[in-house]
Chains A and B, each alone.
Chain A
């Protein structure tokens, strides 16, 4: 049958997927509006930004807006909160929904008050018109039916009429956090709650061949020992009892030797020796403007990086017959539910997954893994809820890591040192193995059960979503010809998944270091060199703004260096330029970072600055210190001593300039700084010491190696 195709919808993506207006907004007769987004708070202030948008669009005071935590039971399905897309997707959908709802209220008010809709005004929820007639959202709440689908017709307010969006509003979650009111999952206590711990071997992928649980059973408060294949754990009345029982159980466990890990001292060689799947990411050809006279080839290496949240992952689960309730700090409640349903062979409708805040997680950490742990242990709890918390060592070794990368760039240069051809190749595991996206689950315990699921090999998101290992590998510069290719490993001895920026940090590090080197060889100022090769005005603006603010280029002082770098995150997101000031000889200290960013409309400018600062500091930590360590059997960086991160006394001064563009849709700020900060520090090291370090992190060991190589 021939059906006319529906007219193209202009609805924001999240509304297309969840059109029911009442799933986003509810009004009470008591002067409250409840907003229920599908995105979750991960310390990025999104809940506040969304409340600002709703308050603005509805014309109510922000204190009337109640934000509901995401839950599969009540919230729209907005996938995962990641990739800096949260404000973009959720914000746009919410703004649109609020505009439509406001209009629905005005229509009814116009009927009731007998005045023309265009003469009505809303002030803090009170709707008034000519001749002092008035009603309110609250009065009409019971009569307005929001159980209807959003339409593309709603028109959000013009930018100039937004009052709150664009203003720095205090985050609504912060008071709870400084007054120690329960907000974190770790601080949540359910009635009758039990505590669980899971036993895992230190050796990578070791199998449990024998388990004697006699000692564990003798520990006070023990409720159950759970054992299924290589998955084992304990349930206890108390947290202390669970810890003690776990230790006892460990003594009764016999494991196989596990599977070998790569040689950490030569990651590039390992990555390049693996079987891979190769993709040409982009190709551009043009006859060379001048003959090539030489080629330079450089290799850049990034190690595996840990998410290393300050809190170990935690979850709670409770069974009621064949119904399951899970509390989690996962970034995607629906996606976790999908994978739980796969592992348990249960219908998704039987599972409710509810979000509670965790510590900042920066990607796919162990939040989802621990949820399955809790679910499996809770089966032995007779209907009582079980809370499971990982150990620090577990968090640092069993959670997925950010993937190591080897990146090779070859540039053909003409006689004047200009680039005539550019080739960029990446060897890396995939950067994404999030739950809920494949036919098989991506949860750790799922690989350990007696009937195990196959281990997921990480893949890369499609380029339309920003890519994975290839993220930011295509230069924004006007080189005439290039080839960008990605070699994704099809083996995965070390588990990797999404970490903040995916491959962008590595690729921007490589591109921006190489450019700096080429500019320096031409004796050309690196700012001028970049500007000459860009035609995007927003890109030029952030570079000029950062350079100007940093007084580019400050006069030379011994031991001090300055470097600049730029990227537009995903090539479609936030623009960010950084000037780094470093000091160093054997050890590098970053003294100052000056950043300029353009995220389009900055809904909460102070929130944007907070995220950029946070990203810049985290990137500095990655760059100066971080590297997952391992021997051939096991991950060895299992504590803060072996996996050090930046401390207060090492943190640089940071200045951020936000270029406001209220007419352009907002994009996230959380991942904009990592790549540029990395390259700017590398370039500053060259400025100070005359050496190019191409292997992260920039520790004494890698500096010395770079110097030896150069001499």
Chain B
């Protein structure tokens, strides 16, 4: 079986797997990661979003071969309880979710946004998150949380 070399959360990987399978399939299956969630498998909900290089993309809609040589970041690589990303801190502070199933994908879309635009307006946040669906109606809190994280990052 051919192998695909890429970096996952900062660590070099060389994975033997069918390159035509989806990145989500490999992450959740072979690599046992649980951060990126399956929602639709068709690139329509954003639950599986990860960051590839600097862009948030749907892992379910990304063929595995296409990440060769790239940098893939999942929510596991964003931060953890010991060293939380400002977005994770802000989501807790704003109590920005209900069931939270959509949250890991939304955090990744937001992280990619803050990388390219550290001081977004609330309209820009909404636009950046427009590909992410949330059924519980936590949208406004999530937007507030992203703005809060941006502020915190700006003031260091």
The 13 listed contacts between A and B (C-beta, < 8 Å) are A44-B98, A178-B97, A178-B103, A179-B75, A360-B101, A362-B135, A389-B38, A617-B140, A618-B137, A646-B139, A648-B132, A648-B142, A648-B143
Residues on B with beta carbons closer than 8 Å to the beta carbon of A649: 123, 126-127, 130
A614 within 8 A of B: yes
A240 within 8 A of B: yes
Given contacts A171-B95, A239-B25, A647-B133, 9 further A-B contacts (CB under 8 A): A178-B91, A187-B34, A239-B28, A392-B41, A640-B44, A645-B135, A646-B139, A648-B126, A648-B129
Taken together as a complex, chains A and B put the C-alpha atoms of A311 and B74 apart, in Å, by 18
B42 within 8 A of A: yes
B74, B92, B99, B127: the one contacting A43 at CB < 8 Å is B99
Residues on B with beta carbons closer than 8 Å to the beta carbon of A360: 98-99, 101, 135-136
Question: How far is the CB of B56 from the nearest CB of chain A, in Å?
Answer: 13
Chain A's interface size range is 35 or more
B137→A175 contact, CB < 8 A: no
B101, B133, B141: the one contacting A613 at CB < 8 Å is B141
Which one of A357, A391, A613, A641 has the greatest number of beta carbons of chain B within 10 Å? A613
Q: Using a CB–CB distance below 8 Å, which chain B residues touch chain A?
A: 21, 25, 28-29, 32, 34-35, 37-42, 44-45, 47, 74-76, 79-81, 84, 88, 91-92, 95, 97-104, 107, 123, 125-127, 129-130, 132-143
A654 within 8 A of B: yes
Question: How far is the CB of B74 from the nearest CB of chain A, in Å?
Answer: 8
Taken together as a complex, chains A and B put the C-alpha atoms of A179 and B141 apart, in Å, by 18
Please, which residue of chain B has its CB at the minimum distance from the CB of A618? Answer: B137
Does more than half of chain B's interface fall in helix, strand or loop, or is it mixed? loop
A43→B95 contact, CB < 8 A: no
Residues on B with beta carbons closer than 8 Å to the beta carbon of A173: 100
Please, which residue of chain B has its CB at the minimum distance from the CB of A619? Answer: B137
A180, A312, A647, A651: the one contacting B35 at CB < 8 Å is A180
Q: What 0/1 readout, one digit per residue, does chain A (363-398) give for beta carbons within 8 Å of chain B?
A: 000000000000000000000000001011000000
A190 within 8 A of B: no
B80→A311 contact, CB < 8 A: no
Residues on B with beta carbons closer than 8 Å to the beta carbon of A648: 125-127, 129-130, 132, 134, 139, 142-143
B76, B88, B91, B138: the one contacting A614 at CB < 8 Å is B138
Please, which residue of chain A has its CB at the minimum distance from the CB of B137? Answer: A617
Q: What 0/1 readout, one digit per residue, does chain A (176-188) give for beta carbons within 8 Å of chain B?
A: 0111101110110
B92→A178 contact, CB < 8 A: yes
Question: How far is the CB of B14 from the nearest CB of chain A, in Å?
Answer: 19
A13 within 8 A of B: no
A618→B135 contact, CB < 8 A: yes
A346 within 8 A of B: no
Taken together as a complex, chains A and B put the C-alpha atoms of A113 and B136 apart, in Å, by 52
Which A residues from 622 to 641 make CB contacts under 8 A with B? 639-641
B47→A180 contact, CB < 8 A: no
Question: How far is the CB of A483 from the nearest CB of chain B, in Å?
Answer: 36
Taken together as a complex, chains A and B put the C-alpha atoms of A653 and B144 apart, in Å, by 11
Please, which residue of chain B has its CB at the minimum distance from the CB of A607? Answer: B95
B95→A640 contact, CB < 8 A: no
Residues on B with beta carbons closer than 8 Å to the beta carbon of A389: 38
Taken together as a complex, chains A and B put the C-alpha atoms of A148 and B45 apart, in Å, by 50
Residues on B with beta carbons closer than 8 Å to the beta carbon of A238: 29
Please, which residue of chain A has its CB at the minimum distance from the CB of B100? Answer: A177
Residues on A with beta carbons closer than 8 Å to the beta carbon of B41: 391-392
Taken together as a complex, chains A and B put the C-alpha atoms of A239 and B127 apart, in Å, by 34
A145 within 8 A of B: no
Residues on B with beta carbons closer than 8 Å to the beta carbon of A12: none
